[in-house]
């Protein structure tokens, strides 16, 4: 008898064969790749036996791209072609270069499109290109170690990466030939690794200070469910800033105001980094560096002085910590554990001050450099289908509210910030004018009440709306945010069935720190924004009232009003039009009330005329039937 080999659709035909998937921590300073092997998530080592590779890429003319330690060796001799910390420019635009310390170390091409590009011997390279080279190196390491092709990877990103930065990460993965199973927030990845190891339930703070970014997240962990309650951070703060501060201090001690040679600055930064690492365990560290131009840096840096240098930078991490507690409605005493993530949390000052802030000892029993990659590997193993019975569930949140522009330049928030994703949320809108057949939809992101104070994400149009009375059409707008935090918006007119949609891939160029600035501004201007919104709403109401009355007057004003009555009504309309341009909310409201009172006689006469017309020549039974079925000839009211 012949035997047929049968397997589940999409699954391996060989019994017990695992689908190869990895977790990737694409870091600013170092990057790692991990996979679940023999039931344990393990960070994979490269050909040099190292479990992390520097996020450094060297480009040379007519030569293969070099990534990692070998690339790092070229930093002093060929600094302009040795790119590091490119993650800082992921999803950024040309306007962000000047505000970044990267401008001091590299030459940029600002004319290569919307993305700034590093000028190298191998041509212009964007941050996406550099990240793609790093991901290709990690992919090669994984496939060589695991002995097969990858089905996909979970790639981690800072929780505060916006849509543009997340899309840039996915673009880099696509260039490297990696299928992205999911983009996972770095703090959430740490929670996966930490929560599964310790079995802790309750609220946990994830303090993630890496080489170039900072995140603080509050997660509620219960029975394998990881829910992000709130998140905040700074996309341009990390260990690189500590290194630059130490380098500036050393220059000042040596009496050197500025190093014009980029290679010399690189050498000084490398020295600063080694001093920082030494002071994680020692009370002082000596330095002796002589550059090719003869400049000498020699002396000693004590732990106390180092702490004084970096403390102002560290203090910038505390406002986001307070913010997440407020956003989640959680007191410090409710936080059961504080998990330290990222190489910069090895700094003693950081550990002690974070412990003081949360009034408890911070947890560092899991390697802070590896925990993110380990958590991503665990999630990748689940998404690859190797653990179909796994009850692991991740619930991330969106960092900023999503909404639409409405009349008056106001923002109607459809999906509030800190909403758990993936999410699909719909809201109904209607037309503003009689006979309106199209609607322009403007998708915005932010916490302020006016569109001008928020970030524009996308614009699209819905056409083919039935021409009906203002307010009669029902248009459902659906916001869908997927597990990667990417947004799709669609609009449906319910009567006709016409639909329009757009995948929101915002243009690169969110200015550095804009997200945290937007949140701060929303709190600082909360009272002012409420007043502005009330004023804008009153102006919209004034225009709506004037348009409705002008339409009625044009239709049959001469039939129901004397010349004197019409003149009085025109005067009230003119008064409202002028008052609506003022900044006085109460005055606009009063002018509306005066117009409504002054037009009441006209409205009553129109209504009586409509009723008489309806009743004329009809039997009472026919009239009753018409009223029951709603077959009147009167105008529809606005919803």
* DSSP structural state of residue 158: -
d(CA 275, CA 291) in angstroms, rounded, equals: 17
**Catalytic one among 78, 96, 129, 186?**
186
**Catalytic one among 78, 87, 227, 241?**
87
d(CA 456, CA 438) in angstroms, rounded, equals: 20
d(CA 517, CA 447) in angstroms, rounded, equals: 11
* Residue 111 appears among annotated catalytic residues: no
d(CA 404, CA 411) in angstroms, rounded, equals: 6
d(CA 225, CA 324) in angstroms, rounded, equals: 20
Instruction: Give the Å distances, CA to CA, from 32 to 28, 55, 172.
Output: 11, 9, 16
Number of neighbours of residue 228 by Cβ within 10 angstroms: 26
Q: What phi and psi values does residue 392 have, to the nearest 5 degrees?
A: -70, 125
Number of neighbours of residue 298 by Cβ within 10 angstroms: 12
Helix axes 526-560, 514-524, angle to 10 degrees: 70
* Residue 484 appears among annotated catalytic residues: no
Q: What phi and psi values does residue 139 have, to the nearest 5 degrees?
A: -65, -45
What dihedral do alpha carbons 41, 45, 49, 50 form, nearest 10°?
A: -90
My answer on whether omega of the bond before 422 falls inside 30° of 0, hence cis, is yes
d(CA 371, CA 392) in angstroms, rounded, equals: 17
d(CA 68, CA 31) in angstroms, rounded, equals: 9
* Residue 208 appears among annotated catalytic residues: yes
**Catalytic one among 96, 163, 208, 484?**
208
| 129 close to 109: Cβ distance less than 8 angstroms | no
What does the buried/exposed string (b/e) look like for 593-615 if buried means 16 or more CB atoms within 10 Å of the residue's CB? eebeebbeebeeebeeeeeeebe
* Residue 149 appears among annotated catalytic residues: no
Q: Which positions are catalytic?
A: 25, 87, 186, 208
């Amino acid at each position: 008898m012949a035997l047929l080999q049968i397997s589940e659709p999409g699954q391996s035909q060989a019994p017990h064969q695992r689908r190869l998937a990895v977790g990737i921590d694409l870091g600013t300073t170092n990057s790692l790749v991990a996979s679940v092997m023999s039931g344990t998530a393990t960070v994979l080592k490269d050909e040099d036996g190292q479990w992390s590779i520097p996020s450094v890429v060297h480009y040379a003319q007519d030569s293969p791209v070099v990534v990692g330690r070998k690339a790092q060796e070229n930093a002093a001799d060929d600094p302009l072609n040795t790119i590091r910390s490119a993650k800082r420019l992921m999803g950024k635009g040309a306007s962000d270069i000047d505000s970044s310390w990267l401008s001091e170390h590299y030459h940029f091409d600002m004319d290569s499109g919307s993305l700034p590009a590093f000028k190298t011997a191998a041509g212009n390279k964007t941050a996406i290109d550099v990240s793609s080279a790093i991901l290709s190196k990690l992919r090669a390491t994984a496939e060589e170690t695991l002995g097969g092709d990858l089905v996909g990877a979970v790639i981690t990103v800072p929780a505060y990466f916006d849509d543009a930065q997340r899309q840039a990460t996915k673009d880099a993965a696509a260039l490297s030939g990696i299928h992205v199973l999911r983009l996972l927030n770095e703090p959430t990845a740490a929670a996966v690794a930490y929560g599964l190891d310790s079995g802790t339930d309750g609220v946990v703070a994830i303090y993630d200070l890496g080489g170039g970014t900072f995140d603080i997240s509050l997660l509620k962990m219960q029975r394998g469910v990881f829910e992000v309650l709130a998140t905040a951070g700074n996309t341009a703060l990390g260990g690189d800033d500590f290194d630059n501060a130490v380098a500036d201090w050393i220059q000042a001690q040596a009496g050197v105001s500025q190093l014009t040679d980029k290679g010399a600055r690189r050498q000084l930064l490398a020295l600063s980094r080694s001093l920082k690492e030494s002071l994680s365990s020692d009370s002082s560290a000596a330095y002796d560096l002589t550059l090719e131009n003869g400049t000498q840096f020699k002396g000693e840096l004590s732990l106390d002085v180092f702490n004084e240098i970096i403390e102002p930078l560290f203090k910038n991490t505390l406002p986001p910590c307070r913010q997440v507690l407020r956003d989640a409605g959680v007191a410090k005493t409710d936080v059961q554990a504080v998990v330290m993530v990222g190489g910069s949390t090895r700094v003693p000052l950081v550990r002690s001050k974070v412990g003081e802030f949360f009034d408890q000892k911070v947890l560092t029993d899991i390697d802070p450099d590896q925990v993110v990659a380990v958590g991503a590997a665990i999630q990748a193993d689940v998404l690859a289908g190797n653990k179909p019975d796994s009850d692991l569930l991740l619930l991330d949140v969106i960092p900023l509210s999503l909404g639409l522009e409405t009349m008056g330049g106001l923002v109607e928030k459809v999906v509030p910030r800190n909403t758990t994703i993936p999410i699909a949320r719909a809201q109904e809108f209607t037309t503003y004018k009689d006979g309106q057949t199209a609607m322009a939809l403007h998708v915005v992101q932010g916490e302020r009440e006016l569109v001008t104070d928020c970030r524009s994400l996308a614009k699209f149009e819905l056409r083919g709306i039935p021409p009906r009375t203002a307010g009669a059409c029902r248009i459902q707008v659906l916001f869908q945010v997927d597990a990667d935090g990417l947004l799709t918006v669609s609009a449906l007119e319910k009567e006709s069935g016409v639909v329009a949609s757009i995948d929101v891939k915002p243009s690169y160029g969110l200015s550095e720190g804009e997200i945290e600035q937007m949140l701060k501004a929303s709190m600082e201007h909360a009272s002012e924004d409420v007043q502005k919104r009330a004023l804008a709403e009153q102006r919209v109401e004034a225009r709506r009232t004037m348009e409705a009355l002008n339409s009625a007057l044009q239709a049959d004003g001469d039939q129901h009003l004397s010349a004197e009555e019409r003149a009085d009504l025109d005067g009230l309309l003119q008064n409202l039009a002028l008052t609506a341009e003022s900044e006085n909310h109460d005055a606009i409201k009063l002018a509306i009330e005066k117009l409504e009172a002054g037009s009441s006689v006209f409205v009553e006469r129109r209504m009586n005329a409509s009723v008489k017309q309806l009743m004329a020549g009809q039997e009472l039974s026919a009239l009753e039937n018409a009223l029951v079925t709603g077959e009147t000839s009167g105008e529809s009211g606005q919803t």
